[in-house]
Amino acid sequence: MKHSVFVLLAGLVGGCAPALGTALLPPQTVPAAASPASDGTWRAYARLQPDKSATVCRRGGGFFDFSLRDDVLFVTPRVGDAFSIPVANDGSVRHAWKVAARPPRFIALEMTGNARSRDLEIFNPARVCRFKLVTPPPILADAD
């Protein structure tokens, strides 16, 4: 089971986990939504942004389920623990978290963007990999 967790995370980490204490790089600025979306649920796929990522990054980053209720974004990644993020009045979110990889290592990730417009990104600062969360998710054949 531990090995399969690492394999599933390989897309977000480029195949190698950073040590604890890795510094997070500042995220790119994501514009606020033109008009807020209503609360709801959706699934998105983390698609690599090759022009904003190092060449060592893997192409696919996995699936995430989202639920926006009131001013809280609930996030359930396919790998790792679910978490929630407070949503600012303009819809912006920013959340850093760590996912266990090969013990005793962790993978540091950061999610930024706008929850109301569903314009979200995940950044892996250790590998300099940036992923855009796209919805609807592509079919597996297109999941690059």
At 14-63, the pLDDT tens digits run 443 333 333 333 444 344 443 345 689 999 999 999 999 999 888 777 89
Compute φ and ψ for 50, nearest 5 degrees: -60, -30
Please tell me the total count of domains within the chain.
1
Q: Per the domain annotation, does 24 fall within a domain?
A: no
Q: Per the domain annotation, does 51 fall within a domain?
A: yes
Q: What percent of the chain has pLDDT over 70?
A: 68
Domain of 115 in residue numbering reads as 2-18+35-142
- The rounded distance, in Å, linking the Cα atoms of 111 and 102 is 22
Q: What percent of the chain has pLDDT over 90?
A: 49
Q: Per the domain annotation, does 66 fall within a domain?
A: yes
Residue 68: count other Cβ atoms within 10 Å of its Cβ: 22
Q: Per the domain annotation, does 28 fall within a domain?
A: no
Largest Cα span, the chain: 43
Q: Which among 129, 140, 131 has a CA at the least distance from the CA of 14?
A: 129
Per-residue pLDDT at 12: 53
Per-residue pLDDT at 137: 62
Map tokens 């950044």 to a residue.
123
Q: Per the domain annotation, does 29 fall within a domain?
A: no
**Helix, strand, coil distribution of the chain in percent, nearest 5:** 10, 40, 45
Q: List the Cα angle 118/122/127 in 5-degree steps.
A: 165
Per-residue pLDDT at 3: 37
Q: Per the domain annotation, does 71 fall within a domain?
A: yes
Q: Per the domain annotation, does 27 fall within a domain?
A: no
pTM reported for the whole predicted model: 0.69
Greatest mean pLDDT among 9-18, 32-41, 63-72, 135-144: 63-72
Per-residue pLDDT at 59: 77
Q: Per the domain annotation, does 114 fall within a domain?
A: yes
- The rounded distance, in Å, linking the Cα atoms of 101 and 139 is 26
